[in-house]
Amino acid sequence: MDPHRKSVFKARLFIEFARIGKALGSRHRLQLIELLAQAERTVEQLAKDIGSPVANVSQHLQVLRAARLVSVRRDGLYARYSLADPRVFRVWQAMRNLGQTRLAEIDAVVADYLGDRGGMEAVDAPELRRRLRDGDVTVLDVRPQVEYEAGHIRGAQNVPFDELTRRLRDLPRGVEIVAYCRGPYCVFADEAVARLVAEGYRARRLTEGFPDWRSRGFPVETGAAPGG
């Protein structure tokens, strides 16, 4: 290949790769990816979840679709969006982990909004998997029911955070509870653990979210809980 053709080849190739970076270069689109990693959603549901106008969310989804990161299926009058490939979540996960390592500002933001998490005991995914095998822990999924039914840690009990107070009596007191949510920065798990500890339960939070657990290849299941 002559130098000119090689230069053109490389330019065209990296232009295509740059489409991925451009599509990910928006806080709104990263939020959409995190939400779609939980379960498919309509544009209206996504708009409500991130607190943005439907028209704006629709535009962001079109950017993600153009980069082949999001797919859509028709369900009657509704268009339901989902991640086009499990690797899309892993790209976001890699960005998130790199940011945690390289950007001190992220720690500052977390400390500002979530406080000092050092006093809140946590468990990582490999330890929780071992505990599940031993059968000495109750796993609590505090995400909305639609996300739980789309996929959850095998054996987890679903108590959405906004139902936790009235459903405390459903939780065992003699076994430690590990609560998890959408990801490491999802506030529901932290608040659930704080609420449980205040009520006298032994509780810890999972350091990761459900998509992280699934990406490790750890046991998952779908559908409603028995009797749900």
Q: Is 181 a catalytic residue?
A: yes
Bridge-based pairing state of the strands 41-42 and 78-83: antiparallel
Name the helix (H) or strand (E) containing 24: helix 3-24
Residue of 83, 181, 186, 189 marked catalytic: 181
Give yes or no for a contact between 203 and 177, defined as CB atoms under 8 angstroms apart.
yes
C-alpha span between 209 and 152 (Å, rounded): 10
Phi-psi region of 41 (alpha: psi -120 to 50; beta: other; left: phi over 0): beta
Sheet of 157-158: strand order equals 122-123, 203-206, 176-180, 137-141, 157-158
Catalytic residues: 181
